[in-house]
Structure 1
């Protein structure tokens, strides 16, 4: 390749990678806002009463509701840009099937588990333990996407996870959360689901516009979560009645807020994965614990302790180590030295 052409290509790719890092930070901070709305939703009727009927009824209703509302919001944005026709088109392609698989991992598996964790161990702890996401994601990215992760990045991932845990760690009250450790287990399942989602989605986005991918993802994940409600809740088809009852409630109003921030977060998150790689995007994601904790202080009156400031410093150091020099990320997902490029859908069928 001509040196001047290669230099221009590297400059263009470097700019894209820097955008990817900024998108990852924005996605993390935005997602940390959602638990506040989810917490308010669980305290309203009919969620407060329905929670007594089945452990997984409310988590699955919330998962279906949040992703369903987010699907509508993202669809409207894509329709405004004239991209809504691509939904059916990518459904017939192999990359589209990757996005469908990612939707399963991120929707009924991860989000359903996350909502259960919020119920069992609280919103802040749920985010803290899902901060294990970078560790699972880095391993999966290395195995399936062949992303190069150097020693410094591994140290950064470890620090990011440790910092995120330290930020919000306050010994829980046994009376407040009697099934705390079951909630932790659900949070870890969520982290694994989110890690697999980003890896699979990143593979699909090599051939699909990220904005279309996230819109299609929400449609599929919302639908799958809705279909899973009778099965996972153990209540059968009657559980759909509770779902439709909830749509016109105050709980649903709070879930609209959660969906708004979730949709925005995923919009930036998928773009970040496509631009800067899945592993690094997931490593920056624990920043969500910062916004979640700060909102907990402002809205719920939580008190910041020394662990918050220590964890914040460790988390930020970890993120810096993971990101490293943006110029080093250009070859993050190179195949045989050639930068990956977006390929039109018609060429990927």
Structure 2
């Protein structure tokens, strides 16, 4: 075997690992919506709606991002990488990660938690999974990533599946703000697609685990700054609810959601770094299936026939976008 063939095999092996990391990221992130829902339905958060429609989801987003940041910080400290946080933030790639934190954290995470709050843990999750379609287009424009004809067909299927999922709301009046939740999920989709593009550019020079640690803490801090504005009127009541949540079971649920999000994001960032942003995002949406199954089994969430059809179409589109491992080798070549 010559040197060129050895290099090819090495790169192919890394591409396959990237696929595995992407799937693991999606599987782990899939547990978060269920535990978010449990946290929002537990005291004191379950009685916090009097502060306004946005207060509880924003508090959950803040606590979850800080929790996931701590989960990621632990192995980084263990591996002696604690100083890399400060060093990386001072660099240009580090500032890319901070910008990604704004879109993926404050914008997307807020949209996602609002969507789950308004429409339950099943439908917004599926809608937010359209972010690979948006991300693939942006990756082609800004990162020059290659997308085959099959990939474009997969993107169209992702969009068609998302539309089908949200076509008919669940019966009953459990979620009177259902379509507002769907709109928030669309916002999350846009935010996550922008995060994938920007963070992928930053991780060319910053280790994925450090980039993720910066992302989570930066996002949590951004949530803290906006909390005074999400309650009814500009005041500090949201802070009071946040701190009163810490010693309760509600925070335990949110911390578990943070674990799923933190470790899931860890593998998602590693996948993006190896396979490119568009493939990483497409693999990650396996979280929709995991979340739907967990929500139906453990929360008794209701689903419609259109949801089942839509999720099948959406996941089929994601598979088409992913392609074969060998195609990942030239995915991030710049032309």
Q: Give TM class, smaller chain.
A: over 0.9
Q: Secondary structure at the match of 2:157?
A: helix
Shift of the 118–226 alpha-carbon distance from structure 1 to 2, 3 Å rule, reads: same
Deviations 1:248-273 (A, max 9, x none): 22211110110010111101110111
Q: Secondary structure at the match of 1:330?
A: helix
Q: Determine the structure 2 residue equivalent to 1:187.
A: 185
Q: Secondary structure at the match of 1:141?
A: helix
Whether the 8 Å CA contact 1:157–1:283 is kept in 2: the answer is no
1:169 shift after superposition: 7.2
Whether the 8 Å CA contact 1:27–1:266 is kept in 2: the answer is yes
Q: Secondary structure at the match of 2:286?
A: helix
TM-score w.r.t. structure 2 length?
A: 0.93
1:270 maps onto 2:272 in alignment: no
Shift of the 19–160 alpha-carbon distance from structure 1 to 2, 3 Å rule, reads: farther
Q: Determine the structure 1 residue equivalent to 2:280.
A: 281
Aligned residues: 334
Q: Determine the structure 2 residue equivalent to 1:52.
A: 50
Q: Write the mapping of 1:194-343 to structure 2, written as runs, cut at 5 A.
A: 194-233=192-231, 234-302=233-301, 310-311=309-310, 313-336=312-335
Alpha-carbon distance between aligned partners in 2 of 1:90 and 1:216, rounded to the nearest angstrom: 9
1:224 shift after superposition: 1.1
Alpha-carbon distance between aligned partners in 2 of 1:185 and 1:313, rounded to the nearest angstrom: 21
TM-score w.r.t. structure 1 length?
A: 0.89
1:88 shift after superposition: 0.6
Alpha-carbon distance between aligned partners in 2 of 1:299 and 1:124, rounded to the nearest angstrom: 12
1:174 shift after superposition: 5.5
Pairwise CA RMSD: 2.1
Deviations 1:59-115 (A, max 9, x none): 111111000011111101111111111001101100000000011111111111111
Whether the 8 Å CA contact 2:127–2:186 is kept in 1: the answer is yes
Alpha-carbon distance between aligned partners in 2 of 1:331 and 1:85, rounded to the nearest angstrom: 33
Q: Determine the structure 1 residue equivalent to 2:6.
A: 8
1:73 maps onto 2:64 in alignment: no
1:309 shift after superposition: 6.0
Deviations 1:301-343 (A, max 9, x none): 346776566556534532332222211111111125xxxxxxx
Alpha-carbon distance between aligned partners in 2 of 1:147 and 1:44, rounded to the nearest angstrom: 44
Whether the 8 Å CA contact 1:167–1:290 is kept in 2: the answer is no
1:152 shift after superposition: 0.7
Alpha-carbon distance between aligned partners in 2 of 1:166 and 1:318, rounded to the nearest angstrom: 13
Whether the 8 Å CA contact 1:78–1:84 is kept in 2: the answer is yes
Deviations 1:180-202 (A, max 9, x none): 11111111011100111111000
Q: Determine the structure 2 residue equivalent to 1:127.
A: 125
Deviations 1:133-185 (A, max 9, x none): 11211121112111111111111223244446657876323622222111111
Whether the 8 Å CA contact 1:17–1:275 is kept in 2: the answer is yes
Deviations 1:211-250 (A, max 9, x none): 1111111111111111221134444233222211111222
Equivalent of residue 148 in structure 1, options 141, 146, 149: 146
Shift of the 237–134 alpha-carbon distance from structure 1 to 2, 3 Å rule, reads: same
Deviations 1:5-55 (A, max 9, x none): 333222222111111111111111221211111111111111111122211
Whether the 8 Å CA contact 1:168–1:289 is kept in 2: the answer is no
Whether the 8 Å CA contact 2:228–2:234 is kept in 1: the answer is yes
Which is worse superposed, 67-76 or 296-305?
A: 296-305
Which is worse superposed, 143-152 or 88-97?
A: 143-152
Q: Secondary structure at the match of 1:87?
A: helix
Alpha-carbon distance between aligned partners in 1 of 2:98 and 2:267, rounded to the nearest angstrom: 19
Q: Secondary structure at the match of 1:25?
A: helix
Alpha-carbon distance between aligned partners in 2 of 1:9 and 1:168, rounded to the nearest angstrom: 46
Alpha-carbon distance between aligned partners in 2 of 1:159 and 1:270, rounded to the nearest angstrom: 24
